[in-house]
Amino acid sequence: MTAGGVVATASPSLGPVLAALAGLPSTSLEELVARASLQTRVDRKYLLPVTEVRELLALLPPTTRVLEIDGVRGFAYRSLYFDTPDLLAYRMAAHRRPRRFKVRTRVYEESDECWLEVKVRGRRGDTVKHRLPHAPDDHGTLAPGRSFVDATLAENRVAAGHDLTFVPTLTTRYRRTTLHLPESDSRVTIDLGLTWHDGERALCLPETAVVETKTGARACHVDRLLWRGRYRPCRISKYTTGLAALRPQLPATPWRRTLRRDMPPSVRRAVPLAEVRLPELTDAVTAG
């Protein structure tokens, strides 16, 4: 981000990271699912400078594999989150309600594959993701899958008694690389270029990576490396943290420490969407 508030279109720090990723041996999606599906898992998220990611990759064991599909190792994700006009899903998370939900469409841009997803959290703290194939041209609306959304929420007894009129609320975009650590059968995802926008304002993290470890009961090698480097897991949700960053008037107790401590000061201020020079940003968030 320059002094004038214009978001850069590329990060000069990405080149060494991409080169380091290119040097790792590959694994297929089938092998990754077979070895590290981790239906019951512990997720830990970290925010760190992109420049630190290269050093992290250099310290990984030589058996580490990177997911590769049709010769591609980094995959662009575009998610559009839907919420009620009074932000029921956001407020449930902000006030730490034991039962809460998220509704989104997710487009995998390389394959143009799209899914409608409903994530529900129960009283035991477990989160389950329900998915339905969704036409890419319909990514800006829930209409074709609205009965699926309603049935999923009803079956899980989430948001009962509320008026569930959904509107597009927030778009997130980023590029993800997935690693497999065979010794612990753990997965690690590295998200680069995270961008949030709500149709009016935008916030980009071109120099920050979101690293997430997905392990069994025990921490994996990447967790221990990050802890040794004094990085600790932080509370970040791409929907709720992004919306809190874009709209500072919203209640944000669960993510306040992340917003104040872990996000770089240079990207804590949202800018008008018109000032963001990212041609891939679309008006999907205002569709419908």
pLDDT surpassing 50 at residue 2: no
Query: What's the pLDDT at 124?
Result: 65
C-alpha 142/C-alpha 76 separation (Å) is: 22
How far is it, in rounded angstroms, from Cα 265 to Cα 248?
15
With 70 as the cut, is the pLDDT of residue 179 above it? yes
Average pLDDT over residues 126-150: 94
62 contact partners, CB below 8 Å, separation of at least 6: none
Q: 123 pLDDT exceeds 90?
A: no
Does residue 224 belong to any structural domain of this protein?
yes
53 inside domain: yes
pLDDT in tens, 89-117: 999 999 988 889 999 999 999 889 999 99
Between residues 250 and 275, the one the model is more confident about: 250
Rounded to 5 degrees, what angle do the CA atoms 94, 186, 194 make?
Answer: 45
Which domain does 135 fall in, by range? Answer: 14-286
Cα–Cα nearest to 2, from 281, 269, 285: 269
Supply 171's token pair: 């778009």
Residue 21 confidence (pLDDT) above 80? yes
Residues 172 and 81: beta-carbon distance below 8 Å: yes
- Let me know if residue 281 belongs to a domain: yes
d(CA 142, CA 104): 9
pLDDT beyond 90 at 276: no
Main-chain phi, psi angles of 261, to 5 degrees: -100, -40
pLDDT of 284 reads 35
**What's the pLDDT at 43?**
86
CA gap 243, 187 in Å, rounded: 27
Question: What average pLDDT does this structure show over 70-91?
Answer: 95
**Per-residue pLDDT at 4 exceeds 50:** no
Q: Write the DSSP symbol of residue 209.
A: E
Position 14 scores a pLDDT of 73
Q: How far apart are CA 27 and CA 217, in angstroms?
A: 23
Q: Per the domain annotation, does 169 fall within a domain?
A: yes
- Res. 286 pLDDT band, cuts 50 70 90: very low
Calculate mean pLDDT across residues 9-37: 80
Banded model confidence at residue 281, pLDDT cuts 50, 70, 90: very low
* pLDDT recorded at residue 15: 79
d(CA 72, CA 28): 11
Give a yes or no: residue 217 inside a domain.
yes
The residue to which tokens 């009803």 are assigned: 154
- Per the model's pLDDT, the better-predicted residue between 17 and 150 turns out to be 150
Domain-located, residue 76:
yes
Least confident of 1-10, 90-99, 117-126, 213-222: 1-10
Q: Among residues 288, 211, 251, 238, which one has the least CA distance to residue 81?
A: 238
Write the CATH number for 214.
Answer: 2.40.320.10
Torsion on CA atoms 132, 133, 137, 142, rounded to nearest 10: -10
**CA–CA gap between residue 109 and residue 274 (Å, rounded):** 23
Q: Residue 75 pLDDT > 80, yes or no?
A: yes
> Does any domain span residue 2?
no
Residue 236 lies in a domain: yes
| 160 confidence band (pLDDT: 50, 70, 90) | confident
Per 3-state DSSP, what percentage of the chain is helix, strand, and coil (rounded to 5)?
30, 30, 40
The candidate with the shortest Cα–Cα distance to 178, out of 165, 169, 187, 168, is 187
Confidence label for 279 from pLDDT (cuts 50, 70 and 90):
very low
Looking at residues 191-213, what average pLDDT do you find?
91
Over residues 278-284, the mean pLDDT reads 39
Structural domain total, the chain:
1
In angstroms, the CA 38 to CA 186 distance is 8
CB contact at 8 A, 75 and 175: yes
Average pLDDT of the segment spanning 53-62: 92
pLDDT band at 271 (very low <50, low <70, confident <90, very high): low
Average pLDDT, the chain: 85
